[in-house]
Structure 1
Amino acid sequence: MKRNLFYLAAADFTEAVELKPDDKVDQDDLKVALARQQNNQTAATAPSPQITISGKTADEYMQQGNVYYDNKQYAEALAEYTKAAELEPQNYLPYYNRGNAYDEQGKSDLAIADYTKAIDLNPRYDKAYYNRGITYTKRNNYDLAIADYTKAIELNPQHYNAYGNRGIAYSQQEKYDLALADFSKSISLKPTDGVSYARRAVIYCAQGNKELAVLDEKKAIFLGAKLLMKCE
């Protein structure tokens, strides 16, 4: 049992981490946050000009930070996100993005602190819970990871990746029935995701259900996913 699930943790965990750049905040999220801040201004107060540092707005620092992030220049991205946070300390987005950059550098304590700050500023931001859950999982803090994935699911019931990653955490706690349920839910939300079939195949095989494991392996291969192991 342990040998089989080692493959799930070691090989599949890369898949979980690679999901994070897709969750990086885009400019639509930033516009929502800025609009919220503008709506908080009183009608009697004339709108003030955007605050800048060295002539750049928080929006511009965020955009430049995203460019650096996409190019894997994480130190430079951190500097840009920090400037954005200085200009708009009540905006959760710079903290969330900076948390992603810290995580890419392996600075999990700083990443968790920034994700937590983003959550404090916007408790309904499911992406921050999800990414903090990934960081906790990498630290083998499975209870905390499961709590964060569960919150992400509560806020976004269609978040199939959160189900999949929670399934990984459950499998490491040897809660195989819960892991199986989460992988199955992930598949129901996105039937074209071959990785979820590969994950579920490992659990079926570990439970001695070779027939179902082989069916999931075939489905995973058909969808272009790599097998995490082969049930024999």
Structure 2
Amino acid sequence: MASTQVERETCLRKLAQNKMRQGNYSEAIAIITCLLDRHPNNANDYNNRGFVYYQNGELDAALADYNKAIQINPDLAAAYNNRANYYAAKKQLIKAIADYDRAIDLNPLHVRALINRGITFRDLKMYDRALENFDFALRLGQLPGHAWAERGRTHHLRGDWNYAIADYRRALPFFPEGRQKQQIQAWIAEILSPFDF
């Protein structure tokens, strides 16, 4: 009977994830809220619901859920990364760096936190620190397209256009047609446009 309950909850989590991917945030939130009604001390569910709130633009609700997840489980690296994304969106970059640091301390292989911290260092115009994060993420071998693209953007903003174009071109094969590929192509065009005759 207990395994049936666990299976049902696993199915509900997958359903919530699918609803979120489809952009049906209110249904995803409702499903996760039902799970939390049953298990109010599940840090992962608070973190996941916070992520859906964040995707839906409900930033204050997202922050409340990230804080609750961290209160329940202070070692949940994903919650620190997600809360850092909230702080970065609010331009509270020092708080964001602190939370990315904590996520990476808890999980040194947390590639998303490394890339996000690199972006935040770049926003602070700390380009060398940003590049260190992207280089380490590349060494870990996960999300290489994102790491190459963000490293390229850092070189671009710093004025190292040759490095930027090389990194952008390394990033392109990792992305199918879509928004990310178009963004990288736009950055390449931005560099090359003064040279069009």
Q: TM tier, shorter chain?
A: 0.7 to 0.9
2:23 is the counterpart of 1:65? no
When normalised by structure 2's length, the TM-score is 0.77
- Which among 89, 98, 117 is matched to residue 138 of structure 1? 89
Q: Would you say the 8 A contact 1:58–1:83 is kept in 2?
A: no
Asked whether the 8 Å contact 2:111–2:143 carries over to 1, the reply is no
How far apart, in 1, do the equivalents of 2:68 and 2:50 lie? 9
Which residue of the partner structure matches residue 124 of structure 1?
Answer: 75
Aligned partner of 1:7 in structure 2 is none
SS in 1 for 2:187: coil
User: How many residue pairs align between the two structures?
Assistant: 180
Paired residues of 2:77 and 2:103 also in contact (CA < 8 A): yes
Tell whether the 8 Å contact from 1:58 to 1:87 is kept in structure 2 after alignment.
no
**Which residue of structure 2 aligns with residue 229 of structure 1?**
187
1:37-56 to structure 2, matched below 5 A, reads none
Structure with the larger helix share = 2
Distance 2:42 2:142 in 1: 36
Distance 2:16 2:143 in 1: 32
Give the Cα separation in 2 of the matches to 1:104 and 1:199.
21
1:196 corresponding residue in structure 2: 147
TM-score w.r.t. length of structure 1: 0.67
Q: Confirm or deny: 8 A CA contact 2:111 2:142 kept in the other structure.
A: no
User: Which has the higher Rg, Structure 1 or Structure 2?
Assistant: 1
**Partner secondary structure for residue 169 of structure 2:** helix
2:57 pairs with 1:106: yes
- Aligned letter for 1:124? D
- The Cα shift of 1:192 comes to 6.6
Gaps of 5+ in 1: 1-48
> Among 21, 38, 58, which residue is 1:87 paired with?
38
Structure 1 residue 60, shift from structure 2 partner: 6.3
1:177 and 2:128 are equivalent in the alignment:
yes
**Structure 2: runs of 5+ lacking an equivalent:** 193-197
Aligned residues of 1:167 and 1:178 also touching (Cα < 8 A): yes
- The sequence identity of aligned pairs, in percent, is 32
Q: Which moved further from structure 2: 220-229 or 164-173?
A: 220-229
1:207 offset after TM fit, Å? 3.0
Over aligned residues, Cα RMSD in angstroms? 2.7
